[in-house]
Structure 1
């Protein structure tokens, strides 16, 4: 018999530890390949954040690494939203077939609300940061050509 996977817990694990793939490990175990693909880009993004603190905003390596963190946060929040909005019947059929669905209540809904706020902020910040750095790079290229 397999362990019953809680939709509420899966939603909140994705919100809190989704950038490291913890939600994938909760649902599919430690053999899940997609779960193991989460930590590296997240850690590279955190390294980019550290580089900004050490070298300032002009560090080009940080320009490349920071968007990874924003994208991983956005991906984790999207997973939480998908989990939280999955109907109870579909969740039960996928994660514990043959058993009746459990009514989940407000737990996943609150997780979805938090995930929407955090995910939207992360995605908008990532797009703004990437756009700003791109246009600064374009302006720098134009200045170097004009010289």
Structure 2
């Protein structure tokens, strides 16, 4: 089974508009992406921490820890989006589209940056 062509623009859009969900990692590496699952579980933990903090009358240390985990998931997603989005197209193709060398190549241009 051949791997599909990976678009840098789609990866960047997933990381920008759905941060912390790990969807950008799942797009690149499939459902077995370790970092995608870490981001998704951290985001869910952050949401649970936020809900716990809002429902309890007192400040809870556990809720704050969960919120920080969710925040880290968001930041990690945005950082990976910036790093991979600004990567040169040739380097992107060599890593994620190696089976398409010569047939199809990434020409992302400025939409990824903007």
Q: TM-score range by the shorter chain?
A: 0.7 to 0.9
State the match for 1:131 in structure 2.
none
State the match for 1:104 in structure 2.
108
3-state SS, counterpart of residue 5 of structure 2: coil
For the residues of structure 2 that align with 1:95 and 1:57, how far apart are their CA atoms?
Answer: 48
Measured against aligned partners, the alpha-carbon deviations of 1:106-131 in whole angstroms (never above 9, x if no partner) come to 22102xxxxxxxxxxxxxxxxxxxxx
- Flag the 1:67–1:56 CA change in 2: closer, same or farther, 3 A: farther
Normalised to the residue count of structure 2, the TM-score between the two structures is 0.85
User: How big is the shift at 1:20?
Assistant: 1.8
Unaligned runs of 5+ in 2: none
Q: Is the 8 A contact 1:24 1:32 kept in 2?
A: yes
Q: Is the 8 A contact 2:8 2:106 kept in 1?
A: no
Q: Answer 1 or 2: which has greater helix percent.
A: 1
Q: Is the 8 A contact 2:86 2:113 kept in 1?
A: yes
For the residues of structure 2 that align with 1:17 and 1:2, how far apart are their CA atoms?
Answer: 23
Matched, 1:26 2:30: no
3-state SS, counterpart of residue 18 of structure 2: helix
Q: Stretches of 4+ moved more than 4 A in 1?
A: none
User: How big is the shift at 1:46?
Assistant: 0.6
User: How big is the shift at 1:33?
Assistant: 2.5
- The structure whose Rg is larger is 1
Unaligned runs of 5+ in 1: 111-147
State the match for 1:46 in structure 2.
47
How many residue pairs match? The answer is: 110
State the match for 1:4 in structure 2.
5
Normalised to the residue count of structure 1, the TM-score between the two structures is 0.67
Higher RCO (CA 8 Å, separation ≥ 6 residues): 2
Aligned CA-pair RMSD:
1.7
For the residues of structure 1 that align with 2:3 and 2:63, how far apart are their CA atoms?
Answer: 43
